[in-house]
C-alpha cells in the first residue's frame, strides 16, 4: 500500500497521506489484531460457518482500505488501457480524497478463508446480488466492495449482516461457495 511503491500512479499529496495512514491501519487490523473482539467457531454438527467479530471502530478504516486498493488497481490498469471501476472511479476517488466514504454509505462485505491466508490478489470486477462490485483477497480475507450507487435490497442478508454493531467477518471453508447456506449463517 505504500504510495512510493508505484511512482507511475501520479498521486496527489492528499491521497499519498491517506494511503500512508491506511498502511498503519492494515498493520493494526491484520497483524496486531487490535480490533478483534471475539471469534465464533464453526459448529461441527450444524454448519461450516464461523465468524470474526471486530470492533465497529474499524469499519470506516476498513472501508478506506478496500476503496484505496480498488483505486490504485484502477490506475494501474488504466495505464495499460484497461478499466476496473468504470464510471464509479470519479465518485470513489472524490469521496476517498474528500473523506466522504463514511457519509455516503458504501457497502462492503468480508469473508475469511484461513486455508488461503497467504493469498494475495489485486481487485477485480465482481457481482454481488446483481450489483457491480470489486473483489480482492489479501491474507485470507476476501473483500467485496459494491461500487453501484444502488443499495442492496432491504431483504438482503449481506445488508443485514453489515448493519450489526460489530464488523462481522464470515469464516468459511475454502471448498464452499461464499453465498451457499448464507441463511444458515444468519440464523446462527
Q: What tens digit of pLDDT does each residue of 78-124 get?
A: 888 999 999 999 999 888 887 777 766 788 888 887 667 777 888 99
Calpha distance 38→44 (Å, rounded): 18
Length of the chain: 188
Q: Of the candidates 106, 76, 102, which has an alpha carbon nearest to the alpha carbon of residue 88?
A: 106
User: Angle formed by the axes of helices 88-98 and 13-26, to 10°?
Assistant: 80
Supply the pTM of this predicted model.
Answer: 0.80
Q: Phi and psi (nearest 5°) for 86?
A: 60, -135
Q: To 5 degrees, how large is the angle CA 63–CA 53–CA 118?
A: 70
CB neighbour list of residue 80: distance below 8 Å, 6 or more residues apart: none
What pLDDT, on a 0 to 100 scale, did the predictor assign at position 1? 42
Amino acid at each position: 500500500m505504500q504510495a512510493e511503491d508505484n511512482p507511475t500512479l501520479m498521486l496527489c499529496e492528499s491521497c499519498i497521506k491517506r494511503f500512508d495512514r491506511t498502511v498503519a491501519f492494515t498493520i493494526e487490523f491484520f497483524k496486531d489484531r487490535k480490533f478483534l473482539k471475539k471469534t465464533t467457531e464453526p459448529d461441527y454438527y450444524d454448519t461450516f460457518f464461523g465468524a470474526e467479530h471486530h470492533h465497529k471502530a474499524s469499519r470506516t478504516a476498513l472501508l478506506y482500505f478496500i476503496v484505496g486498493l480498488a483505486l490504485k488497481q484502477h490506475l494501474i490498469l488504466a495505464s495499460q488501457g484497461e478499466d476496473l471501476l468504470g464510471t464509479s472511479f470519479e465518485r470513489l476517488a472524490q469521496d476517498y480524497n474528500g473523506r466522504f466514504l463514511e457519509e455516503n454509505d458504501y457497502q462492503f462485505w468480508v469473508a475469511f478463508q484461513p486455508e488461503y491466508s497467504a493469498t494475495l490478489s489485486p481487485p477485480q470486477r465482481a457481482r454481488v446480488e446483481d450489483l457491480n462490485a470489486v473483489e480482492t483477497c489479501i491474507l485470507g480475507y476476501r473483500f467485496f466492495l459494491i461500487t453501484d450507487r444502488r443499495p442492496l435490497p432491504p431483504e438482503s442478508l449481506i445488508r443485514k449482516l453489515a448493519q450489526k454493531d460489530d464488523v462481522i467477518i464470515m469464516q468459511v471453508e475454502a471448498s464452499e461457495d461464499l453465498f451457499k447456506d448464507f441463511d444458515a449463517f444468519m440464523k446462527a
